[in-house]
Amino acid sequence: MRKDLFDILDRDWAVFESSRTGSRALARWREDERELASFASLRQVMDALGDRLHPERQDALMLAFLRLAGVDEHARRVVLRAITPALVRLSRSYRQTLDSDDAVSVVVLAAMERMAKYSPSRGGRPAANLIQDVRYTAYRAAQRESALRPGQPVPVPLDDVHAMAAQVSQPTATDDLVTLLAEAINQRSLTAEGGRVIFLTRVVDVPTAELAAADGVRPSSIRKRRERAEAALADFAMEVA
């Protein structure tokens, strides 16, 4: 049975959480952020980020990781993991207008893009702000899809959309790729499936063989999908350059 993007990200997190790469990242964060100095494992970090009984601590930890996320792809993995339950709910809200895979790809890519550009000085609760930004992106994608299918209403009206966070750090190559993927999907120059394959293999580093097993196809099929998607993405990049 084909696994969706959330399933694959769950598996990727399980590997990262117990890896030497994850341990080294945590050691580095403990030195860089005072709020993270007391954590001995990524499991403890995730438990604290999910602890709704202590919202002020939640916010301080999330803000710490969002400060790191501007330059650290592993910090973005933590933020993505922390907000995944909200992203799952959000993607379900848009399945009436965007199909299931499209909705999941749109919200995940939007989350990765927005967390890399999040302004630490922004007021309010950081996780809620981030989800609101993603909701706005999904809403715009649903509007575009509805315009192509007259009579199809946008399923989730938004009464209060926050302004998009200002970019405060120099983007990395990974940031640029995620941004380009999100823009290409939103402009319908790249399919959500193509964006999913590029994101998983180029950004999250999911092995081609593992993705093929999850999709029930041969690794060569994944490579061909990625080649087609990257060709479409290259064409889009030339158009917007």
Per-residue tens of pLDDT for the chain, all 241 residues: 456 788 889 999 999 999 999 999 999 999 999 999 999 999 999 999 999 899 899 999 999 999 999 889 999 999 999 999 999 988 888 877 776 777 888 888 889 888 988 888 887 889 988 988 888 778 777 766 655 444 444 443 333 333 333 333 444 556 667 778 888 887 888 888 888 888 888 877 788 888 888 888 898 999 999 889 888 887 787 676 5
The closest alpha carbon to 96, from 147, 146, 150, 148, belongs to 146
Contact 186, 240 (CB under 8 A): no
- pTM of structure: 0.67
To the nearest 10°, report the CA torsion of 231, 233, 236, 240.
-130
| The one-letter amino acid at 42 | L
Q: For 42-46, which contacts have Cβ atoms below 8 Å and span 24 or more sequence positions?
A: 42/16, 42/17, 42/78, 43/17, 45/78, 46/17, 46/78, 46/81, 46/82
